[in-house]
Structure 1
Amino acid sequence: MWRHVAANALTFLTVALFLLAGLVTWGVSQYSAPGPLAQAICLRVAPGANFREVSEDLGQKGAVAHPTILRLGADYADRTADLKQGSFLIPEAASMQEITDIVTGDGASTCGTEIVYRIGVARTLAQVRELDPATGDYDERAEFEPLSDAPVPAAYEQVKAQPDTTFRVVVAEGVTSWQVAQSLDAIDVLDGDGTPIPPEGRLAPDSYAIRPGDSVADLLARMQAAQDAALAEAWEARAQDLPFDTPEQALALASIVEKETAIPEERAVVASVLVNRLRQGMRLQFDPTIIYGITRGQGLLDRPIRQSDIDGVTERRLHGEVAYNTYVLDGLPAGPIANPGRAAIQAAVNPAATDYRYFVADGTGGHAFAATLEEHQRNVARWREIEARQAEEAEAADPEPADGSN
Structure 2
Amino acid sequence: MTESESTPPAETPPSVPPPDTEVPGRKPRRWGLWISLFLLALVLLAGGVGLYGWQRYTGTGPLTADKTLVIPRGSGVAAISRQVADAGITRHPLELAVALRLRRDGTVLRAGEYAFPAGISLRGAIDLLASGKTVVRRFTVPEGLTSWQIVELLRADAALSGEIAAVPPDGSLLPETYHYAYGDARGDLLSRMQGDMDRALDRLWAARAPDLPIADKRQAVILASVVEKETGVASERPRVAGVFVNRLRLGMRLQSDPTIIYALSDGKGFIDRPLTRADWKLQSPYNTYIVDGLPPGPIANPGLLSLQAVLQPETHKFLYFVADGTGGHAFAASLDEHNRNVVRWRKVRDGE
Q: Normalised by the size of structure 1, how large is the TM-score? A: 0.55
Q: Measured at CA, do residues 241 and 88 of structure 1 come closer, stay the same or move farther in structure 2, by a change above 3 Å? A: farther
Other structure's SS at 1:209 match:
strand
Q: Measured at CA, do residues 327 and 284 of structure 1 come closer, stay the same or move farther in structure 2, by a change above 3 Å? A: same
Greater gyration radius: 2
For each residue in 1:10-60, what CA deviation from the matched residue of structure 2 results, as whole angstroms up to 9, or x when unmatched?
xxxxxxxxxxxxxxxxxxxxxxxxxxxxxxxx9889999xxxxxxxxxxxx
1:167 CA displacement: 2.0
What is the rounded CA distance, in whole Å, between the counterparts of 1:301 and 1:291 in structure 2? 7
Q: How many residues align?
A: 245
1:191 corresponds to 2:161: yes
1:379 corresponds to 2:349: no
* Partner amino acid, structure 2, of 1:262: G
Q: Measured at CA, do residues 356 and 108 of structure 1 come closer, stay the same or move farther in structure 2, by a change above 3 Å? A: farther
Cα pair 2:269 2:299 within 8 Å, conserved: no
1:347 corresponds to 2:317: no
1:86 CA displacement: 4.8
Percent identity for Structure 1 against Structure 2 = 49
For each residue in 1:100-142, what CA deviation from the matched residue of structure 2 results, as whole angstroms up to 9, or x when unmatched?
xxx9xx9656xxxxxxxxxxxxxxxxxxxxxxxxxxxxxxxxx
Query: Paired residue for 2:233, among 263, 266, 278?
Result: 263
**What is aligned with 2:184?**
214
Cα pair 1:325 1:333 within 8 Å, conserved: yes
**What is aligned with 1:366?**
328
* Partner amino acid, structure 2, of 1:383: W
* Partner amino acid, structure 1, of 2:149: Q
Higher relative contact order (CA 8 A, sep 6+): 2
1:203 CA displacement: 0.5
1:188 CA displacement: 2.0
1:225 corresponds to 2:195: yes
Cα pair 2:226 2:298 within 8 Å, conserved: yes
Q: Measured at CA, do residues 88 and 359 of structure 1 come closer, stay the same or move farther in structure 2, by a change above 3 Å? A: farther
Other structure's SS at 2:243 match:
helix
For each residue in 1:62-119, what CA deviation from the matched residue of structure 2 results, as whole angstroms up to 9, or x when unmatched?
xxxxxxxxxxxxxxxxxxx9xx995599xxxxxxxxxxxxx9xx9656xxxxxxxxxx
1:303 CA displacement: 1.9
Cα pair 1:289 1:326 within 8 Å, conserved: yes
Query: Paired residue for 2:288, among 320, 326, 344?
Result: 326
Q: Measured at CA, do residues 267 and 107 of structure 1 come closer, stay the same or move farther in structure 2, by a change above 3 Å? A: farther
Q: Structure 1 regions of 5+ residues with no counterpart?
A: 1-41, 49-80, 90-102, 110-163, 317-321, 393-406
* Partner amino acid, structure 1, of 2:187: A
What is the rounded CA distance, in whole Å, between the counterparts of 2:269 and 2:295 in structure 1? 19
**What is aligned with 1:338?**
300
Other structure's SS at 2:138 match:
strand
Other structure's SS at 1:307 match:
coil
* Partner amino acid, structure 2, of 1:227: M
Q: Measured at CA, do residues 356 and 211 of structure 1 come closer, stay the same or move farther in structure 2, by a change above 3 Å? A: same
1:284 corresponds to 2:254: yes
* Partner amino acid, structure 1, of 2:296: A
Please identify which structure carries the higher strand content: 1
What is the rounded CA distance, in whole Å, between the counterparts of 1:263 and 1:108 in structure 2? 38
In angstroms, what is the RMSD of aligned CA positions?
3.1
**What is aligned with 2:245?**
275
Q: Normalised by the size of structure 2, how large is the TM-score? A: 0.63
